[in-house]
C-alpha cells in the first residue's frame, strides 16, 4: 500500500512540475512574442533606411560629379544650359511645332 501511495505522489509531483514548467514556457512566450514582432518591424525599417541611404549616397555622388563638371567643363555647362532651353544672346531660335508641319 505504501509503494502504491509513493507511486501516486511521484506521479502527482511530476504532473505538478510539468504544469509549472509549461506555465513558465507559456509566460516567456507571452512576454517575448510582442518583442520579437517589434524587433522584426524595426529590423525591416532599418533595412529600408539603409536602402534609402544608399540611393541618397548615389544621388549625392552624381550631384558632386555635376558640380565638378560645372566648375571644370565649359562644354558641360553649355550642354546643360541648352537642355534647359537657354540660348546665347546673339543666337536666333527657330522652333518647329508638329501642328505647323504638313
Please state the domain extents for the chain. 2-83
**What's this model's pTM, rounded to 2 decimal places?**
0.54
Distance CA 43, CA 96 (A): 55
Angle 74-83/2-72 helices, nearest 10 degrees?
100
What are the distances in angstroms from CA 48 to CA 54, 56, 61, 91? 10, 12, 20, 49
From first to last of the 102 residues of the chain, give the pLDDT tens digit.
Answer: 888 888 899 999 999 999 999 999 999 888 888 888 899 999 999 999 999 999 999 999 999 999 999 999 999 999 999 888 888 888 888 877 776 555
What integer pLDDT is reported at residue 51 of this predicted model? 97
Amino acid at each position: 500500500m505504501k509503494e502504491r501511495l509513493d507511486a501516486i505522489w511521484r506521479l502527482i509531483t511530476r504532473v505538478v512540475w510539468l504544469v509549472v514548467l509549461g506555465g513558465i514556457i507559456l509566460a516567456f512566450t507571452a512576454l517575448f512574442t510582442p518583442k520579437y514582432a517589434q524587433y522584426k518591424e524595426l529590423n525591416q525599417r532599418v533595412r529600408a533606411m539603409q536602402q534609402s541611404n544608399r540611393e541618397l549616397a548615389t544621388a549625392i555622388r552624381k550631384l558632386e560629379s555635376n558640380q565638378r563638371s560645372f566648375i571644370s567643363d565649359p562644354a558641360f555647362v553649355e550642354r546643360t544650359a541648352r537642355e534647359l532651353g537657354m540660348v546665347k544672346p546673339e543666337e536666333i531660335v527657330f522652333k518647329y511645332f508638329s501642328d505647323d508641319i504638313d
